[in-house]
Amino acid sequence: MKTRCFLLLLLITSYSYGQLGFCTGSKGDPIFFENFGSGNAFGPALPATYTSYTFVSGLPNDGQYTISNRTNLNAAWHNAPDHTPDTETNGANGRSLVVNASFTAGEFYKRSVTGLCINTTFEFSAWLMNVYSPSLGSCAGTGIPVDVTFEIWDATETTLLKTGSTGAINGSPTALWQQFGLTFTTFPGQTSVVLKMKNNGVGGCGNDLAIDDISFRSCGDPATIASSLSTSPIFEACLGNVPAMIPLSVAISNATPHVFQWQQSTDGTNWTDIPGEISSSYNLPGPGSSQYVRVKIAQDASNLSNPYCYTLSDYYHILIYRIPPAPASNGDRQVCSNDSFELSVIGAANWYDAPAGGNLLLANSDTFTPTVAGSYYAEASLPNISCVSATRTEVKLSVFPQPIVGLDVETSFCENKTVDLDAGISGVDYVWSTTEISKIITVRTAGIYTVTVTKDGCSNVRTFSVVQKNTPVISNIDTTNGIITIEVTQPGDYEYSLDEIMYQDSNFFPNEISGIKTAHVRERTGCGFDSEVFSLIRMPEYFTPNGDGYNDTFDVAGLSYFPKATISIFNQYGKFLKMLTSGNPEWNGTLNGKLLAADDYWYRVDLGNGKIFIGHFALKR
């Protein structure tokens, strides 16, 4: 007798701490749902058979409960609404069952659930919250935890169908609803069960909870529909290519025997049973339009007519596409050889080189860029499926050559002259940047000129860079220190000469003797010439009157060219010493027969034509 009692106790203990878990397959509509109503007032009280706790309209103490739309009945409890405040029948102010655990652990809620389906797996679930808020510090730590055991018994309360415990639910800083559930299976002929909730903790500071949204719903094993014609739950075909039969089968993870009823729908919302199709496979006659197929699944045939007693497979989608019309063309293209060759149609298309058959050039694009002129054909196509238009749309590409205008031109003209610019191609239309429209134009201003030539709608541009060659005009001839510098009024490509025979690039002539000279300047390509006569007096920089026969006199060579010229010589203090003329062009470095000292001396030259200049030289002994 003691052994039998021990085994019974072991069995009950094993059930009491079984594992919780949710339905992993498809779920039916709730056959039972308790949300404790809605409203701002407390209650109403539960029937006396539901609980051994005492109902109060306010804050429940240990061993008491209430039904309220808020949980902040105690200053140490969370201020939270019920689990689904916005989805109750009357909107906000939904209620939940608020329980203050008794000092003695034990059952606090029991009720019968009727109308269940026979031989069916159900999911029981409920939402729980530990209403104590540790942040308020009313209890030690997180307070006494909530720990609830759920038990599902047969109607006679002699057979325990399933049990499971939540384990410790500690108080949390914020209000936290948690869902717990378990699954069980009714026996043949069984349509009701008894739900019991037991408190595993004791009363005291903590172990206060709220319960809401208790539900029972049928639980089916995961079920999917597959077809040998598709690797996905979608079968796609083009109208006209639909097979006579589409083989379908439903696969269920659980080997438990099931009963089936195939259904079909045109919109995925409204479903009808397919008469006679009650096996795990179904050969669907090839439809002429899109539709959905699914399977009702139960563990007993009597449950197939009760929406609360069966579950549903995932649906299988049959997509039937109409044959698309041939794409509309955006027009034939007539382009120039330097333009883009892109052809286009409205909508994605496959491009071919023939009206039928031929080579596929590009798939699934509304544009195509060929490399040569010709006719190309666009076939409407649905993506990822063999469904094409019955005909193809021809799009022609005509390519006209771009006129060949030759290389750009660099040319020049002489100042105050003109130059002709020739487009260089005949039989085309011309538009110059000057707005002239002839093949040849005459310009008289330097700059960049362009001509656009057009034939068959195709154009090309030729550019002319025109430079003016300036005519040289001598503006000044500088002979400072005996160095001749020929200056002109404006820049140009000039060359210079003093004898009109030998020309040079430089306008400097440093080693010329005194005399009457002529400066010559000419533009290198023949655009003008200028000349000017000038006089050059080249003064010695020093002389050495020491009687050696070399450089003994201060002699101004070429002074004879200037008969009116006079040269006055002074010492460094400005004392006049000697005057030289064309008839007397030398000085021997004496004054009144006496030798003057080696020193620096000055001169003043007056050419007698208005030109006067001064300078200095050295007398060395």
Token pair of 463 as six digits: 């550019």
Q: How many Cβ atoms are within 10 Å of 509's Cβ, its own excluded? A: 20
Predicted confidence (pLDDT) per residue in 201-247, tens digit: 877 888 999 999 999 998 888 889 999 998 899 999 998 889 999 99
Given a contact cutoff of 8 angstroms between Cβ atoms, the answer to whether 465 and 421 are in contact is no
Predicted confidence (pLDDT) per residue in 76-129, tens digit: 999 999 998 755 444 467 899 999 988 888 899 999 999 998 988 899 999 999
Which segments of the chain have a pLDDT < 70?
1-19, 86-92, 255
Task: State how far Cα 148 lies from the chain centre.
Answer: 54
- Identify the pLDDT of residue 86: 56
SS3 530: strand
What is the spatial order of strands in the sheet that 223-226 belongs to?
Answer: 223-226, 245-252, 281-285
- Identify the pLDDT of residue 3: 33
The DSSP secondary-structure symbol of 144 reads B
CA dist., res. 204 & res. 149, Å (int): 19
Q: Considering all CA atoms of the chain, what is the largest pairwise distance in Å, rounded to the nearest integer? A: 174
- Identify the pLDDT of residue 9: 29
Predicted confidence (pLDDT) per residue in 126-137, tens digit: 999 999 999 888
Residue whose C-alpha is closest to residue 54's, from 44, 64, 43: 64
- Identify the pLDDT of residue 580: 94
Given a contact cutoff of 8 angstroms between Cβ atoms, the answer to whether 535 and 609 are in contact is yes
Task: State how far Cα 130 lies from the chain centre.
Answer: 48
Q: How many Cβ atoms are within 10 Å of 527's Cβ, its own excluded? A: 21
Given a contact cutoff of 8 angstroms between Cβ atoms, the answer to whether 452 and 460 are in contact is yes
- Identify the pLDDT of residue 19: 60
CA dist., res. 84 & res. 212, Å (int): 8
- Identify the pLDDT of residue 222: 84
Domains for the chain: give ranges and CATH numbers: 15-219 (2.60.120.260), 223-321 (2.60.40.10), 328-400 (2.60.40.10), 409-469 (2.60.40.10), 474-536 (no CATH), 542-619 (2.60.40)
Token pair of 151 as six digits: 């038990």
User: Structure pTM?
Assistant: 0.51
DSSP assignment of 427-471: SSEEEETTS--SSEEEE-S-EEEEEEEEETTEEEEEEEEEEEEPP
Looking at the chain, the whole-number percentage of residues with pLDDT higher than 70 is 96
